[in-house]
Amino acid sequence: MADWDLLLSDANIATMAANAPGYGEISDAALAVRDGRIAWVGNREELPDGDATRTLSLEGRWLTPALIDCHTHLVFGGDRSAEFEQRLEGASYEDIAKAGGGIMSTVRATRTMSADELFATALPRVQALAAEGVATIEIKSGYGLDVDNEIKMLEVARRLGDASAIDIRATLLAAHTVPAEYKGKADDYVDLVCEELLPAVAARELADAVDAYCESIAFTAPQIARVFRKAAELGLPVKLHADQLSDGGGAELAASFDALSADHLEYTSAAGVMAMAQSGAVAVLLPGAFLTLGETQRPPIDELRGQGVPLAVASDCNPGTSPMCSLRNAMMLASRLFRLTPLECLAGTTREAARALGLADDRGTLEIGKRADIAAWDVDHPRELAYWIGTPQLAELLLAD
Ligand code: DI6
Ligand code: FE
């Protein structure tokens, strides 16, 4: 039997290992894979003797960990281009939501679609991300907002994972907005989420995590605390849409529940940043939503950096606030709008995105033992991945299975 299933040679490698300086660059490198895991990585001259079932010369291309999109809502019905027009004519996201549009209009469209129809419209979005080098995608529910339709969305997410070589992580986002039939009775909806929906989802193992939207147009901190307590009881990790449009104490709430991540964070206070630093939560930055909503207040990047909070970057692909099915564009926007360095953009879509999904030990860097999801790029240096705008550079996406 061969020592390795695959040997990649004649490559330059950015390991993105946390303890290596910069990109963890290794020139004239080789990388060996066995059983879907990285068995060896380093300078070619130090490669131990061994034989491989398959050898691939990279002809000097750069290898990085395959990209990870750790925050998407890419299963949905319809689109919101009419609201986009209304917003450009002066209406605000909150005004539209209060008038029954916004998330609720996507809920109406999603509820009328069958699982097969949702699957058929979502698959090209998964494929578009894969074509950019993304091998792991998180997908949230949150446009069903009743037991059957939230389960339908999560089942579609699972099917997308089964039907493609991409690894899909599904997140229950039942506390996304109060559905129309519970208007004025948000606490009753939270009862339904805690008493029926969460146990049903957990019993079917349909979700890998639980998310919620903490905002004046969505749920209060005490309501979300109830959802998070139930998630903890069921053994599900939590994460939060926090402080996107106002400071609702979302970062503090997420930290107090040891959330994997707090996402958006435009209005997070210094106290919120401190709380995240102490809890170890990842800050997931979503510049596509910032851009689309015409926000002017940036997340407190300097404070997050200063406190050592890990920074991830994601597409937030959704029809309302981030109609962008591209993680490369999210990297591009994070560098321009939030002034993340190209290194932070790449770490934010590999190592830190893995951490935001609770997968830091499993993937996101090219180190021995990690899952062998590897992207090969036609670039002269990995900093180019944040630099170029809308320029395809993926040569090959090599997947562990
Ligand atoms: N914040 C967002 O940016 C998305 N969800 C959320 O809570 C937007 C979802 C939508 O508008 O459909
Ligand atoms: Fe989101």
198: Cβ below 6 Å to ligand 1? Answer: no
Q: Dump pLDDT digits (tens) for 173-231.
A: 999 999 999 999 999 999 999 999 999 999 999 999 999 999 999 999 999 999 999 99
Residue 14 has pLDDT above 90, yes or no: yes
Q: Which of 348, 299, 309, 260 is nearest to 67 (CA)?
A: 348
**For atom 7 of ligand 1, which residue has the closest CA?**
213
Q: What integer best gives the mean pLDDT of the chain? A: 97
pLDDT for the residue numbered 338 = 98
User: What residues sit around ligand 2, an ion, with C-beta below 5 angstroms?
Assistant: 316
The CATH class of 67-356 is: alpha beta
Nearest atom in ligand 1 to 177's CA: 7
pTM given for the model: 0.98
Q: What is the mean pLDDT of the segment spanning 300-322?
A: 98
Residue 64 has pLDDT above 90, yes or no: yes
pLDDT for the residue numbered 100 = 87
- In this prediction, residue 340 has a pLDDT band, given cuts at 50, 70 and 90, of very high
244: Cβ below 6 Å to ligand 1? Answer: yes
Residue carrying structure tokens 């699957």: 119
Q: Dump pLDDT digits (tens) for 244-299.
A: 999 999 999 999 999 999 999 999 999 999 999 999 999 999 999 999 999 999 99
Say how far apart CA 287 and CA 290 lie, in whole Å. 5
| CA 375 to ligand 2 center in whole angstroms | 26
Residues sharing a CB contact under 8 Å with residue 272, sequence separation 6 or more, in sequence order: 242, 243, 247, 249, 250, 251, 252, 255, 262, 265
Burial class (CB in 10 A: 0-12, 13-18, 19+), 192: middle
Q: What is the mean pLDDT of the segment spanning 31-45?
A: 98
Nearest atom in ligand 1 to 106's CA: 12
pLDDT for the residue numbered 1 = 80
Say how far apart CA 66 and CA 57 lie, in whole Å. 18
pLDDT for the residue numbered 382 = 98
Domain boundaries, the chain: 2-65+365-398, 67-356
Q: What is the mean pLDDT of the segment spanning 306-312?
A: 98
Q: Which CATH number fits domain 2-65+365-398: 2.102.10.10, 3.40.50.300, 2.30.40.10, 3.30.70.3040?
A: 2.30.40.10
Ligand 1, from 86, 111, 176: best to mutate by most atoms within 8 Å of Cβ?
176
| CA 54 to ligand 1 center in whole angstroms | 44
pLDDT for the residue numbered 315 = 99
Ligand nearest to the CA of residue 242, numbered in listed order: 1
Same fold, 2-65+365-398 and 67-356: no
| CA 111 to ligand 1 center in whole angstroms | 17
Say how far apart CA 213 and CA 219 lie, in whole Å. 6
Residue 401 has pLDDT above 90, yes or no: no
Nearest atom in ligand 1 to 102's CA: 11
Residues sharing a CB contact under 8 Å with residue 146, sequence separation 6 or more, in sequence order: 111, 179, 192
Inter-residue contact 68 to 314 (CB < 8 Å): no
